[in-house]
Structure 1
Amino acid sequence: MSTRHRAAVLGSPIAHSLSPVLHRAAYEALGLTDRSYDRFEVDETDLPGFMNELDDSWAGLSLTMPLKRAIIPLLDEVSDTAAAVEAVNTVVFTEDGRRVGDNTDIPGMIAALREHGVEKVDHAAVLGAGATASSAVAALSRICTGPVTAYVRTHTRAEEMRGWGARLGVEVHTADWAEAGHAFDAPLVIATTPAGATDPLVPYIPDRPGTLFDVLYDPWPTPLAAAWAEQGGGVVGGLDLLVHQAALQVEQMTGVGPAPLAVMRAAGERASAEG
Structure 2
Amino acid sequence: MSLPYAPHAPYAPYAEVIGDPIAQSKSPLIHRFWLERLGIEGDYRHCHVKPGELADYIARRRGDPDWRGCNVTMPHKQAVMPLLDRIDPVANAIGAVNTVVREDDGSLAGYNTDAPGFLEPLLDELKQPHLFRMARIVGNGGAARAMVRALADHGFVIVMFGRDPARGRALLDDLDPEGEHHTAPLDTLAAPTDFAFDDRVGCLDLVVNASPLGMTGNPPLAIHPSHIPPRSICYEIVTSPRETEFLKTAQQAGFRTIDGFAMLIGQAAYAFGKFFGQPAPRADDDELRALLTA
* TM-score bucket (shorter structure): 0.7 to 0.9
> Structure 1 residues 206 and 156 mapped into 2: Cα distance closer, same or farther (>3 Å)?
closer
Aligned to 2:25: 17
Q: Tell me which amino acid in the other structure corresponds to 1:233.
A: F
Aligned to 2:4: none
Deviation, structure 1 residue 178:
2.3
Aligned to 1:150: 160
Extract structure 1 runs of 4+ deviating beyond 6 A: none
Give unmatched runs, 5+ long, in structure 2.
Answer: 1-10, 198-203
**TM score, norm. by length of structure 2:** 0.81
Deviation, structure 1 residue 39:
0.8
Question: Which digits, 9 at most, give the CA deviation of each residue in 1:84-112, with x for residues without a partner?
Answer: 11111111012332110000111111112
Give unmatched runs, 5+ long, in structure 1.
Answer: none
Deviation, structure 1 residue 261:
1.5
Are 1:5 and 2:13 matched, yes or no?
A: yes
Deviation, structure 1 residue 119:
4.7
Does the aligned pair in 2 maintain the 1:12–1:66 contact within 8 Å?
yes
**From 53, 56, 62, the counterpart of 2:60:** 53
Deviation, structure 1 residue 19:
0.8
Aligned to 2:262: 240
Mapped to 2, the partners of 1:146 and 1:9 lie a distance apart of 31
> Structure 1 residues 270 and 146 mapped into 2: Cα distance closer, same or farther (>3 Å)?
closer
Aligned to 1:42: 49
- Ranked by relative contact order (alpha carbons within 8 Å, sequence separation 6 or more), the top structure is 1
Does the aligned pair in 2 maintain the 1:243–1:261 contact within 8 Å?
no
**What secondary structure does 2:121 align onto?**
helix
Q: Tell me which amino acid in the other structure corresponds to 2:18.
A: L
Mapped to 2, the partners of 1:204 and 1:132 lie a distance apart of 25
**What secondary structure does 2:47 align onto?**
strand
Aligned to 1:65: 74
Mapped to 1, the partners of 2:69 and 2:156 lie a distance apart of 37
Does the aligned pair in 2 maintain the 1:22–1:265 contact within 8 Å?
no
Mapped to 2, the partners of 1:179 and 1:221 lie a distance apart of 23
Aligned to 1:105: 114
> Structure 1 residues 206 and 104 mapped into 2: Cα distance closer, same or farther (>3 Å)?
closer
**TM score, norm. by length of structure 1:** 0.87
Mapped to 1, the partners of 2:179 and 2:274 lie a distance apart of 28
Does the aligned pair in 2 maintain the 1:106–1:139 contact within 8 Å?
yes
**What secondary structure does 2:167 align onto?**
helix
Does the aligned pair in 1 maintain the 2:149–2:176 contact within 8 Å?
no
Q: Tell me which amino acid in the other structure corresponds to 1:227.
A: T
Aligned to 2:291: 270
Deviation, structure 1 residue 203:
5.9
Are 1:227 and 2:245 matched, yes or no?
A: no
Question: Which digits, 9 at most, give the CA deviation of each residue in 1:212-258, with x for residues without a partner?
Answer: 1111111221111122112211111210001111111111111222x
Q: Tell me which amino acid in the other structure corresponds to 1:166.
A: D
Mapped to 2, the partners of 1:206 and 1:177 lie a distance apart of 14
**From 155, 161, 172, the counterpart of 2:171:** 161
**What secondary structure does 2:69 align onto?**
strand
Larger Rg: 2
Report how many residues are paired.
Answer: 265
Mapped to 1, the partners of 2:146 and 2:243 lie a distance apart of 22
Give identity over the alignment, percent. 29
**What secondary structure does 1:26 align onto?**
helix
Matches within 5 A, 1:160-179: 160-167=170-177, 170-179=179-188
> Structure 1 residues 172 and 198 mapped into 2: Cα distance closer, same or farther (>3 Å)?
farther
**What secondary structure does 1:39 align onto?**
strand
Matches within 5 A, 1:74-113: 74-113=83-122
Aligned to 1:261: 282
Mapped to 1, the partners of 2:179 and 2:51 lie a distance apart of 30
Pairwise CA RMSD: 2.4
Deviation, structure 1 residue 13:
2.1
Deviation, structure 1 residue 268:
3.5
> Structure 1 residues 76 and 265 mapped into 2: Cα distance closer, same or farther (>3 Å)?
farther
Aligned to 2:274: 252
Deviation, structure 1 residue 161:
2.2
Does the aligned pair in 1 maintain the 2:237–2:263 contact within 8 Å?
yes
Does the aligned pair in 1 maintain the 2:159–2:182 contact within 8 Å?
yes
Mapped to 2, the partners of 1:236 and 1:118 lie a distance apart of 15
Q: Tell me which amino acid in the other structure corresponds to 1:152.
A: G
**What secondary structure does 1:9 align onto?**
strand
